[in-house]
């Protein structure tokens, strides 16, 4: 069957000379970014300071809405930030850890930056309860549910685990959290753009992520969804003039909060990154998450099959319903193999306790999967010969 999605390949210059299997880390740059950044420079050069009122001030919310459309978030509910760690800080600054409800529950498969952030909040009264993975691939839902109790304030969890691509049962965890009065901050960095995300049907309180991986949006833009009914009630202490009702009145004294999304922002927005993010967000919307997911399930299954045939360990769920867009393969000497793959224009990465992460995206040809595995074999053969 012809692969209809391959028509988007010409939009991504790097695909002309690399086997680009690294959307779990940095998605390929859409050609449109050249024009987007040129447009940014033109605006700055020709409009100068007027650019703020003509375009730039509104951009953070516009990009938030474009991202919101991909996750079924209502307009005005998504703010933009520099990175996911900052999003954690904004949410934490809405919470009070000085009371009895001060527990933070997450799994040890969370992204480390998120863990470092919440660990550090212990200085403000937070108590961290870390749920352990049994197998290094999955997070047992029952253990998460068990750990969430009436002392829990927040559950910062990954939707898709970065190491293994395991899809957590966010719905079940959110339901339990709500039953006991806790919030969930769902990190959709490794899901949005690859796996369907619907913040309203999940009923998550908060969702965050960045655009540089599956959304092909480049570094410098993260998003924070806040459930609209909550958004109007919360008062982030990590705040600034962007969150003020009348930022250009330059009032002294305490802040008078404006409505979301600006309510959750703080200082001057990151305009060049916001401009650069738009072509990727647009193309993902055009391709459609359902089509991306369907292809991803097929291609990740093929990668697992290829690894199995060679007896390499696969650190990713075999059940397609539990698997995101990445396959982590722990072949012999995987760290060295990874370095060599990159030299040979097969772009992948290595993570300890995972192996080589390979992430086909909508722009990947089936033959590229076979080619990547053949290159691994070639490298292993050469290493074996050199060791003799
Ligand atoms: C699930 C997840 N969360 C967060 C991050 C990164 O966080 P930040 O945007 O703060 O660098 C990553 C990867 O870079 C990730 O895979």
Q: pLDDT of 176-217, one tens digit each?
A: 999 999 999 999 999 999 999 999 999 999 999 999 999 999
CA angle 213, 218, 220 (to 5 degrees): 105
Cα(84) to centroid(ligand 1), Å:
6
**Which pair of tokens denotes residue 56?**
């730039």
Half-sphere exposure of 375 (CA within 13 A, CB side): 22
pLDDT in tens, 213-235: 999 999 999 999 999 999 999 99
* Number of residues in the chain: 388
| Rounded CA separation 312/377 (Å) | 11
pLDDT of residue 338: 97
Q: Residues near ligand 1 with C-beta < 6 Å?
A: 83-85, 111, 113-114, 158, 162, 187, 189-190, 210, 222
- Amino acid 315: pLDDT: 95
User: 2 falls in which pLDDT band (50, 70, 90)?
Assistant: confident
Task: Give this prediction's pTM.
Answer: 0.97
How confident is the model over 259-281, as a mean pLDDT?
98
Answer yes or no: are the C-beta atoms of 155 and 173 closer than 8 Å. yes
The yes-or-no verdict on residue 1 having pLDDT over 90 is: no
Closest approach atom of ligand 1 to CA 158: 1
The pLDDT assigned to 367 comes to 97
Distance 135 CA to ligand 1 centre (A): 22
What is the average per-residue pLDDT within 23-37? 97
Atom 7 of ligand 1, nearest CA residue: 84
pLDDT above 90 (res 133): yes
Which residue has the CA at smallest separation from atom 6 of ligand 1? 84
Long-range contacts of 44-51 (CB under 8 A, 24+ apart): none
Structure tokens, 10: 């010409």
Query: Span 316-337, mean pLDDT?
Result: 96
| Protein residue with its CA nearest to atom 16 in ligand 1 | 162
- Is 388 a residue whose pLDDT tops 90? no
Q: Which atom of ligand 1 is nearest to the CA of 24?
A: 16
- What mean pLDDT comes out for the span 276-292? 98
């Amino acid at each position: 069957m012809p692969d209809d999605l391959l028509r988007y390949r010409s939009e991504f210059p790097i695909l002309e000379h690399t086997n680009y299997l690294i959307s779990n880390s940095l998605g390929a740059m859409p050609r449109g970014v050249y024009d987007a950044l040129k447009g940014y420079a033109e605006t700055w050069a020709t409009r100068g300071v007027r650019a703020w009122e003509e375009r730039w001030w509104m951009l953070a919310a516009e990009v938030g809405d474009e991202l919101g459309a991909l996750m079924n978030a209502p307009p005005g509910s998504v703010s933009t930030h520099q990175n996911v760690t900052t999003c954690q800080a904004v949410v934490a600054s809405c919470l009070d850890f000085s009371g009895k409800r001060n527990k933070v529950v997450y799994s040890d498969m969370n992204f480390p930056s998120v863990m470092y952030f919440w660990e550090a909040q212990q200085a403000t009264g937070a108590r961290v309860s870390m749920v352990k993975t049994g197998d290094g691939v999955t997070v047992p839902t029952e253990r998460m549910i068990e750990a969430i109790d009436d002392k829990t304030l927040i559950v910062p969890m990954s939707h898709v685990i970065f190491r293994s691509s395991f899809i957590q049962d966010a719905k079940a965890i959110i339901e339990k959290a709500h039953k006991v009065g806790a919030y969930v901050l769902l990190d959709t960095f490794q899901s949005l753009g690859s796996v369907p995300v619907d913040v309203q049907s999940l009923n998550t309180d908060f969702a965050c992520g960045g655009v540089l991986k599956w959304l092909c949006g480049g570094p410098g833009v993260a998003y924070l969804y806040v459930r609209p009914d909550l958004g109007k009630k919360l008062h982030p202490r990590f705040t600034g003039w962007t969150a003020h009702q009348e930022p250009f009145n330059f009032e002294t004294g305490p802040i008078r909060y404006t409505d979301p999304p600006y309510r959750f922002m703080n200082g001057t927005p990151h305009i060049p990154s916001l401009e650069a993010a738009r072509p990727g967000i647009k193309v993902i919307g055009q391709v459609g998450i359902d089509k991306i997911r369907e292809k991803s399930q097929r291609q990740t299954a093929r990668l697992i099959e290829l690894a199995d045939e060679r007896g390499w360990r696969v650190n990713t769920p075999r059940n397609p319903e539990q698997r995101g867009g990445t396959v982590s393969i722990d072949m012999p000497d995987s760290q060295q193999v990874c370095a060599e793959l990159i030299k040979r224009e097969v772009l992948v990465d290595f993570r300890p306790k995972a192996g080589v992460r390979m992430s086909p995206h909508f722009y990947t040809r089936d033959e590229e999967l076979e080619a990547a595995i053949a290159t691994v074999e070639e490298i292993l053969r050469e290493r074996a010969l050199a060791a003799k």
